[in-house]
Amino acid sequence: MSWFQKEIRLSVRPRGFHVITGDIVEQVPEIRRYSVGLAHIFIKHTSASLTINENADPTVRVDMESHFNAMVPESAGYLLHTTEGPDDMTSHIKVAILGSSVTIPISDGRLNMGTWQGIYLCEHRNRAGPRRLVVTISGELKRG
């Protein structure tokens, strides 16, 4: 069993749902060294989340943003934590619903996801900065 961990940085993205699978694979080429294992991806922020969903049709990402904005509206008058703006507490609520990490199997040096699956960065802030992810891999290294 081998362990590997790396912190990576994602460029600034606008509010919304963004497929970042390619960013992760590009910045963590060490995935290719594993014959079998797990990649755990954790976001080090409380106003952006991670999830796995449809990676092909961009309207899915638009619909996800629309749904979460309807489900957790910034106009909710009962929210107290708005120090950084109306998207402050709503961002934290969305993270609590979606989560801060995903775990994906690794098979033969690749993330083993379904054909239509992609890793999403769910950016909940109107004006966010770059995001940092910690990728931890455990598994068996390829022989040879």
Asked if residue 141 has pLDDT above 80, the reply is yes
pTM of this structure: 0.96
Residues 53-105: tens digit of each pLDDT: 999 999 999 999 999 999 999 988 999 999 999 999 999 999 999 999 999 99
Is 80 a member of any domain?
A: no
37 belongs to a structural domain: yes
**Based on the structure, what is the number of domains in the chain?**
1
pLDDT tens digits for range 93-138: 999 999 999 999 999 999 999 999 999 999 999 999 999 999 999 9
Query: Is residue 33 left, alpha or beta, with left meaning phi > 0 and alpha meaning psi from -120 to 50?
Result: alpha
Domain membership flag for residue 97: no
Residue 51 lies in a domain: yes
| Residues 6+ positions from 118 with CB-CB distance below 8 Å | 19, 20, 21, 52, 53, 54, 55
